[in-house]
Structure 1
């Protein structure tokens, strides 16, 4: 039966979307969840996956056309159907009504069969673990309805701590770890590796420490053994499977979707691997094999599209598993390698004057205004006309921060998995100042006659992308320390540039930070996006001679690392004195340079 592909709701306030590109054409075969088309809204650009496997028989909405949420975009037919064959079926009401009873009849024939099979199996197994705590499949995104268990990090009978990584799950949007909800003993595994479960389905049962595991789950490590082709002839293969997991180090950098967690929790997840290696030596090659065992279908497809050999990729996931980002980075390195080769072959060329920049191919052309640029233009124009905007600039000496950064950047990257830039320092200082001066974080409703002070600091970070400026949000930024903010900034920026950000992650900002100095600008006057009331721009950190007051020498000229911070704000709500007090608090925090505890120094 033909399946309709409809425009999904890509955000709370989004009512329509524009088809920017069809990734498949009529007559092409598609798989379930395979990217089918790209859609753009005023909030996000994203891919729409195919809801069913089959043949793309008809495209209803062409490229650059706009469709409302819920409207039909295309039709997926069964294998072997010809392109365009679904068109008459979709247009003729009589034919549309005829196939309707068929799925109902099929469903009636299949419903009684799985129900008895699903019910007795759990009923017999959980009996010994009735007092345990269930581990369920979490909702890993607004449109995600199911996930695939890629690897169990713990086996039946093993002890787990609360928030310790328990298993890895893969969806069409993200690969992530699922932590244990409680501490205790893993009594039962209900969904084996490579099996898919719906959101909310029970994956396992955690019982009290020392509790006896259920009898049935002991047979479930079999999939674990099948995932290790390194020792197919060993008769003791099922036995090492439960014990192999403790030999895997969990001290890897957290998965992308987990970076919002407190760094302390992420670092305390490490399980010492020392006791197990000698007994589990045969298992080690399995982790060094292609993708360290299981590779998700999404990662395999991505590697095939970019021509990346998975065996040559060093995975950054738990236990060395290859993630989507690893494949994308390998593809970028492959592209950059040919360009770097001529430079190494002719080092003398570096001494020559810089070549004249090549003119852009867009010179003398006209192109259609992209939807995201149109949305940016509209919002910026509205903001300037709705607010009485003013900008106040302050100069800050960040020499101490620069020294701390140089001292701690290597250990920081090893500990947190991201580079240490100046931006997290600016963000942390700004968030702390917002807590002291909440008027800068407030929102004005002139018609309603109210001022709303949010209960948290939701920090927007302006990210430069090929599509235009996008502002993902660090929600509850006031709950994060320096390491947590650094990881959230790196994660959001990367997923924004690769078009993997969700609509919910670019909404709800109460204050925005824009790093205008990333391209060398000393400062600018940012335009505050409504309904926010203020936005902070950070300029380039540059060394220059400055008069400083030395306690022994008095006023002397010294080379210092300096930066301009520019705060744009709605002057209807925020007075100049309020802005000056806020900037002074940021300046004092940065110049004091008391970040040793945050950096582990």
Structure 2
């Protein structure tokens, strides 16, 4: 019995949608809430999940076709109507290896020595694929339709636990690790590094690994070399070539299969030529596994001067954790005091190399060019005396840290003053929609965060309704999770205005770039002490004051210079007054 999958209501004013991409084909198995297809409307692009589990028996609306809300898109049933197609994907999975394997028996109908091993090689692969479960790319956000595999953390033949990271995936909004939903042995990698896969696409296959030893491949292959000594020599190059396409699933399991066949000395004697390669592959695979580090760990190692090649990882699969780097840094402090002063100038390992752009870098570059070409941007700069803010911060920072758990930096003061000014001058917070100007009813401030992957902007929502403690805590949390790759895509979208702290790296000011659809971005320079002329009742005097430059870049299509000046003037007056004690939040 089959059930219909209909186009659900996607919004009050949305009456129809266009199918942009099917994530499943006829004959594919689908689980409850697993994405079936992607639909695009005039307001949103989204995935339609399956309301039931079963087999896709019929697709009624093809890609690029439009359907009304409530229309039947597909039918999912028990698979009785799609048994033939369901076999096709199973046969297609190892298409390339099976094609070669089937070609060999056809070309060698006579029972020659190499023909026998070809058949056993095919048998374990089929058994393993029958036991394996597909690992698919999960949904990473409402508007994310595909991801690029940047790095595999496991190799074929490796054991993987439930929720243990299998690979890293990069999208246009976030880089993340994909964990394994099941425990077992990685039997096949379907999508290679740098390849792009759609949400719901099969990334790899993980099984119990128990099917391979049951196959009679090894005893037969051990028996066939007896009549012809030249046959093993011919088999070894074939076995060496086999792992390249897909026989990696067989090769790691060949070693455990050999010992049961021969109890003591025959096994080492026969396994030495062929099984040495898997044995050598294990340390080689362990080295990259233990040498793999996340961006945050790599950055920490760079900051502490730790050589990662000399660090032993204590994490899952030998992965290096932050604790390992910190421990190595503590050890090196006492052992090599002179080495700390030696590196005066650091030479980057990228010097003299050519690197492929990451997906995130491509997206940033495309958006930057599109924003510059689609808007009329200019920048207005003011200098602000933040001495009173600096004094308040100095007086309250210890108490603030004790009561809120967050450090009190200048950035929360800038964010609060900007949010208040956005309420007064909403044109700075507005967006362009055709020939209309849209004024949001909230101040969602995107906070620019520098990461090793590139610039990301998590969103501080409803900033105008928060105090300094809330703003400081949320900014610290967002920044930490951004650098640790733990943000969700929804936390990177919905910003109406951006705040970038260019002064964190010592810059006095810059001309920040506005990214569509926003209309303005505020850059805060470094807070520095310098002599300033102070006007008072007794005349002018010179005093040492803390100052900062604030640079507002804006879209001149809707924001005039006078609007920018008024906005900056309010921010300046708020900061120079320094009256924030009532906003501390404790």
Q: 1:457 aligns to what SS in structure 2? A: coil
What whole-Å deviation, never above 9, does each CA across 1:507-548 have from its counterpart, x for those lacking one?
Answer: 111101000000100000011011000000000000111111
1:55/1:81 contact within 8 Å kept = no
Q: 2:507 aligns to what SS in structure 1? A: coil
Matched, 1:334 2:327: yes
Quickly say closer, same or farther: Cα 1:389–1:81, change in 2 above 3 A. farther
1:391/1:569 contact within 8 Å kept = yes
Instruction: Give the deviation of 1:356 after TM superposition.
Output: 3.5
Which of 407, 416, 420 aligns to 1:432? It is: 420
Aligned to 1:215: none
Q: 2:531 aligns to what SS in structure 1? A: strand
Q: Distance in 2 between matches of 1:478 and 1:28?
A: 51
Moved >6 Å (runs of 4+): none
Instruction: Give the deviation of 1:9 after TM superposition.
Output: 2.1
Matched, 1:476 2:435: no
2:164/2:316 contact within 8 Å kept = no
Aligned to 1:549: 535
Q: Distance in 2 between matches of 1:479 and 1:68?
A: 39
What whole-Å deviation, never above 9, does each CA across 1:454-478 have from its counterpart, x for those lacking one?
Answer: 1111111101111111111112222
Matched, 1:416 2:404: yes
Which of 435, 453, 468 aligns to 2:439? It is: 453
Count of residues paired in the alignment: 360
Instruction: Give the deviation of 1:445 after TM superposition.
Output: 1.4
What pairs up with 1:120-131 in 2 under 5 angstroms? none
What whole-Å deviation, never above 9, does each CA across 1:418-473 have from its counterpart, x for those lacking one?
Answer: 21111111011111111111110010113xx2111111111111011111111111
What pairs up with 1:92-103 in 2 under 5 angstroms? none
Aligned to 1:489: 475
Which of 573, 581, 586 aligns to 1:588? It is: 573
Q: 2:472 aligns to what SS in structure 1? A: helix
Q: Distance in 1 between matches of 2:211 and 2:368?
A: 48
What whole-Å deviation, never above 9, does each CA across 1:206-242 have from its counterpart, x for those lacking one?
Answer: xxxxxxxxxxxxxxxxxxxxxxxxxxxxxxxxxxxxx
2:384/2:550 contact within 8 Å kept = yes
Q: Distance in 2 between matches of 1:462 and 1:81?
A: 51
Matched, 1:10 2:3: no
2:470/2:585 contact within 8 Å kept = no
TM-score by length of 1: 0.57
Q: Distance in 2 between matches of 1:52 and 1:456?
A: 42
Quickly say closer, same or farther: Cα 1:530–1:358, change in 2 above 3 A. same
Q: 1:391 aligns to what SS in structure 2? A: strand
Could you say which structure has the higher helix fraction? 2
Aligned to 1:571: 556
Q: 1:495 aligns to what SS in structure 2? A: helix
Which of 374, 388, 401 aligns to 2:389? It is: 401
Aligned to 1:41: 171
Aligned to 1:66: 196
Quickly say closer, same or farther: Cα 1:4–1:355, change in 2 above 3 A. closer
Q: Distance in 2 between matches of 1:358 and 1:515?
A: 25
Quickly say closer, same or farther: Cα 1:82–1:368, change in 2 above 3 A. farther
What pairs up with 1:141-180 in 2 under 5 angstroms? none
Q: 2:442 aligns to what SS in structure 1? A: coil
Q: Distance in 2 between matches of 1:541 and 1:375?
A: 32
CA RMSD in angstroms, aligned pairs only:
2.6
Quickly say closer, same or farther: Cα 1:507–1:302, change in 2 above 3 A. farther
1:546/1:558 contact within 8 Å kept = yes
2:467/2:585 contact within 8 Å kept = no
TM-score by length of 2: 0.58
1:444/1:452 contact within 8 Å kept = yes
Gaps of 5+ in 1: 86-90, 92-299, 308-326
Matched, 1:538 2:524: yes
Aligned to 1:381: 369
Q: 1:512 aligns to what SS in structure 2? A: strand
Quickly say closer, same or farther: Cα 1:28–1:478, change in 2 above 3 A. same
Instruction: Give the deviation of 1:332 after TM superposition.
Output: 4.6
Instruction: Give the deviation of 1:550 after TM superposition.
Output: 2.3
Which of 514, 520, 529 aligns to 1:528? It is: 514
What whole-Å deviation, never above 9, does each CA across 1:161-213 have from its counterpart, x for those lacking one?
Answer: xxxxxxxxxxxxxxxxxxxxxxxxxxxxxxxxxxxxxxxxxxxxxxxxxxxxx
Quickly say closer, same or farther: Cα 1:410–1:581, change in 2 above 3 A. same
Q: 1:56 aligns to what SS in structure 2? A: strand
Instruction: Give the deviation of 1:302 after TM superposition.
Output: 4.7
Quickly say closer, same or farther: Cα 1:305–1:524, change in 2 above 3 A. same
Quickly say closer, same or farther: Cα 1:427–1:600, change in 2 above 3 A. closer
Aligned to 1:560: 545
Say which one has the larger Rg.
Answer: 2
Q: Distance in 2 between matches of 1:358 and 1:14?
A: 38
Quickly say closer, same or farther: Cα 1:386–1:591, change in 2 above 3 A. same
What whole-Å deviation, never above 9, does each CA across 1:40-93 have from its counterpart, x for those lacking one?
Answer: 01100001111212211111000111111111111111242449x9xxxxx9xx
2:527/2:548 contact within 8 Å kept = yes
